[in-house]
Amino acid sequence: MATRRAACRRIRSAAAAAAFVVGVGACSAPGDGGTGGGAKAAESVVIGVGSEPDTLSPLLGYGKDGNSKIFDGLLARDTDLRLKPALATALPEVAADGRTYTYTLRDGVKFSDGEPLTAQDVVYTYRTVLDAKTNNTARSELDAIEDVRADGDDTVVFRLKYPYAAFAARTVLPIVPEHVAGGQDPNTGDFNTRPVGTGPYVLTNWSKGEKLTFKANPHYWGGRPTVKSFTMAVIADDNVRATRLRSGDLDGAVLPPNLAATFAKDEGRRTYEARSYDFRAVTLPTAGKVTGDRAIRRALDAAVDRQAMVDKILDGAGRPAYGPLPVDDPWYRRAVERPHDLAGAGRILDEAGWKPGAGGVRAKDGQRASFTLYYPSGDKVRQDHALAYASDAKKAGIEVKVEGATWEVIEPRMGRDAVLAGLGSVGDPDFGLYTLLHSSLAGDGFNNMAHYANPVVDEALDTGRRSQDPKRRAAAYDEIQQALVDNPGYTFLTHIDHLYVLADRWDGLTTQLEPHEHGFASGPWWNIEDWQPKR
With 0-12 / 13-18 / 19 or more C-beta atoms within 10 angstroms meaning exposed / middle / buried, residue 189 is middle
pLDDT digits (tens, 9 = 90+) for 9-46: 333 333 333 333 333 333 333 333 344 445 666 799 99
pLDDT score, position 449? 93
Q: Do β-strands 44-49 and 229-234 pair in parallel, antiparallel, or remain unpaired?
A: parallel
Pick the CATH number of 279-496 from 3.10.105.10, 3.10.290.20, 3.40.47.10, 3.40.50.300: 3.10.105.10
The one-character DSSP state at 412 is: G
Mean pLDDT, residues 254-281 taken together? 94
Closest CA to 126 of 68, 201, 186, 85: 186
In CATH terms, are 58-190 and 279-496 the same topology?
no
Find out whether 336 and 481 touch, Cβ atoms under 8 Å.
yes
**What is the rounded CA–CA span in Å between residue 180 and residue 186?**
11
Closest Cα partner for 206 from 194, 218, 189?
A: 194
pLDDT of residue 39: 60
Domain boundary assignment for the chain: 2-52+208-274+499-533, 58-190, 279-496
Given this model, what pLDDT does residue 427 score? Answer: 83
**How, if at all, do strands 155-160 and 100-104 pair?**
antiparallel
* CA-to-CA dists, residue 55 to 183, 320, 424, angstroms: 18, 33, 20
Is the per-residue pLDDT at 405 higher than 50? yes
pLDDT in tens, 136-167: 988 989 999 999 999 999 999 999 999 999 99
Count Cα neighbours of 380 within 13 Å in the Cβ-side half-sphere.
18
Sorted by sequence, the CB contacts under 8 Å of residue 457 that are 6+ apart come out as: 437, 438, 439, 479, 480, 483, 484
Element containing residue 496 per DSSP (H, E): strand 490-496
Mean per-residue pLDDT of the chain: 91
What are the φ and ψ backbone dihedral angles of 274, each rounded to 5 degrees? -120, 130
**Mean pLDDT calculated for residue range 470-487:** 97
Query: What pLDDT is recorded for position 492?
Result: 98
Q: How many CA atoms lie within 13 A of 348 on its CB side?
A: 21
Residue 393 contacts residue 400 (beta carbons within 8 Å): yes
Q: How does pLDDT run across 422-474, given as a tens digit for each residue?
A: 999 998 999 999 999 999 999 888 999 999 999 999 999 999 999 989 999 99
- pLDDT: which is higher, 398 or 427: 398
Question: Above pLDDT 90, what percent of the chain?
Answer: 85
**3-class secondary-structure state, position 146:** strand
Q: Which residue has the higher pLDDT, 36 or 319?
A: 319
The pLDDT value recorded for residue 444 is 86
- 58-190: CATH topology is Dipeptide-binding Protein; domain 1 (3.90.76)
- Under DSSP, the state recorded for 154 is S
Question: What 3-state DSSP class applies to 383?
Answer: helix
In this prediction, residue 2 carries a pLDDT of 36
> What 3-state class would DSSP assign to 173?
coil
Domain spanning 2-52+208-274+499-533, CATH architecture: 3-Layer(aba) Sandwich (3.40)
Residue ranges of the alpha helices (H) in 396-443? 407-410, 429-437
Res 38: pLDDT: 54
